[in-house]
Amino acid sequence: MSSTLVKLISECFIKPLGELSPEAKQPIHFTPFELAWLNFKYSQRGLLFRKPPSPDCFSITTFLNHLQHSLSATLTHFYPLASRFATRKQENPPSYVIYLDPENSPGAKFIYAKAGATVSDVLDPPDVPLLVHSFFDLNNAICYDGHTLPLLSIQVTELVDGIFIGCSFNHMVTDGTSLWHFMAAWSEIFRSGGQSVSRPPVFKRWVLDGYDPIINLPYNHQDQFIERFENQTFKERFFSFSSTAISKLKATANSECNTHKISSLQAVIALLWRCITRARCLPHDCEITCSLMFSTRARLNPPLSDDYFGNPVHIVGGKATVGDLLAHGLGWAAFRLHEAVINHDDKAIKEEVESWIKSPVIYKRIHLFGANLVRAASSPRFDMYGCEFGLGKALAVRSGCTNKCDGKITMHPGREGGGSMDVEVCLLPEYMKNIQSDQELMSYLMID
């Protein structure tokens, strides 16, 4: 296995092209959506590509230079990713304000590494190999560390026959929507050789009416709210649902509830909620939760632009006892999730934000990774496979080791498109063993 070890070759920092405008140098203040995530670890997503078969068709030096130049041009538009956090404190009156300071702009980190592994070493094992975790940087960083660490780190790992581009990004600065917006812009500039993007990001902060855009946290020192925890190792496996299977899941869930409101995503998550619960063999009176992390952009009134750059996410969830969840059908579980999402409308979001402003809470591990939880993140609606860098369509999307827990499910579009989905499921080893023989799950995975 020593040949698969990842070896660091070089690293540097990439800055935006040219000087920032006076407007772009102004502090960017975090919203309540974002400040709650100070203890969250950096999120990690990456794309695996196959190298051209002939060495005459590919130069790693030329490729890296092109990546770096296009990244610099992209950061000109997404300049907050090159900057760092700052904290302004005063004692009288007490004040503790964390913000993003674009004038402090050391750049995004860019790493080149090599591994003796092949594409098959990544894709062929039934479980995601631990090797994949070494394709990412900043494995132990939390969002608060953006004061001193880069807000974005790109690690390009050259395999024997492939290239992996891994992104570690500060989740206070970007959610999944903003990450894939950035990746699409980088891909666009890489392919065009230009410096402009078709969808410029929007940095103007959302502010709750009647409240100061500058949030003053009720602390005197970081030790009052910072919590660090080690990454745990779980079994991670991808389950692929064809577009036909997704259609059948959605139709079944809606038919059982005599409705047409349940979405494909809600149906898939409901299926996995039921299957993971069975795999855990919990008592029937045990209460369980399935939570969904989702963007509030479209749910606010007026809605935020899809190009709004930030982390305007909330968490909602459906609850049930094990007995109820398993005694009822797929549709019953899916409708619990549907109701949780629908009820979290503009009024509910703003009430939650107002409550947070009056009594700020910085999430800790117990808030994020509770017991008997199924947590869904990311979205099959993100155009992950549209991000190309001269190597054709990516072979796969993978994530790193951060923010993993037993019951975490990460949603991706299927590579073949057409409404298919690939779901990364993270479980304790004994539960992963159990879920592989779950008849309900396997019945849908077998549909082509």
Tokens linked to 158: 């050259």
Nearest to 420 by CA among 177, 237, 176, 245: 245
- pLDDT recorded at residue 401: 96
Class of domain 235-446: alpha beta
217 CB burial (10 A radius; 0-12, 13-18, 19+): buried
Q: How far is CA 97 from CA 19, 32, 86, 151, 214, in A?
A: 26, 12, 8, 18, 7
Checking phi first, is residue 213 left (phi over 0); if not, alpha (psi -120 to 50) or beta?
alpha
Class of domain 6-224: alpha beta
Biggest CA pair distance of the chain: 67
* HEC string for 68-113: HHHHHHHHHHCHHHHCEEEEEEECCCCEEEEEEECCCCCCEEEEEE
Q: Each residue's pLDDT tens digit in the chain (448 positions)? A: 445 689 999 999 999 998 999 999 999 999 999 999 999 999 999 999 999 987 778 999 999 999 999 999 999 999 999 999 999 998 877 789 999 999 999 999 999 999 999 999 999 999 999 999 999 999 999 999 999 999 999 999 999 999 999 999 999 999 999 999 999 999 999 999 999 999 999 999 999 999 999 999 988 889 999 999 888 889 999 999 999 999 999 999 999 999 999 999 999 999 999 999 999 999 999 999 999 999 999 999 999 999 999 999 999 999 999 999 999 999 999 999 999 999 999 999 999 999 999 999 998 877 777 778 999 999 999 999 999 999 999 999 999 999 999 999 999 999 999 999 999 999 999 999 999 999 999 999 999 8
Tokens linked to 323: 């007995």
209 Cβ neighbours under 8 A, 6+ residues apart: none
Does 235-446 match 6-224 at the fold level?
A: yes
Task: Round to whole Å and give the CA distance between 200 and 177.
Answer: 14
What is the model's pTM? 0.96
**Domain spans of the chain?**
6-224, 235-446
- pLDDT recorded at residue 18: 87
Tokens linked to 322: 């094990």
Q: How far is CA 269 from CA 161, 168, 252, 326, 384, in A?
A: 34, 25, 14, 14, 20
- pLDDT recorded at residue 4: 65
Nearest to 403 by CA among 147, 139, 57, 16: 139
Tokens linked to 187: 């891909």
Nearest to 411 by CA among 403, 398, 423: 423
Are residues 166 and 157 in contact, defined by beta-carbon separation less than 8 angstroms?
A: yes
Residue 98: how many CB atoms within 10 A of its CB? 24
Nearest to 321 by CA among 360, 282, 358, 351: 282
- Give 308's strand partners: 202
Task: Round to whole Å and give the CA distance between 218 and 123.
Answer: 47
- pLDDT recorded at residue 365: 78
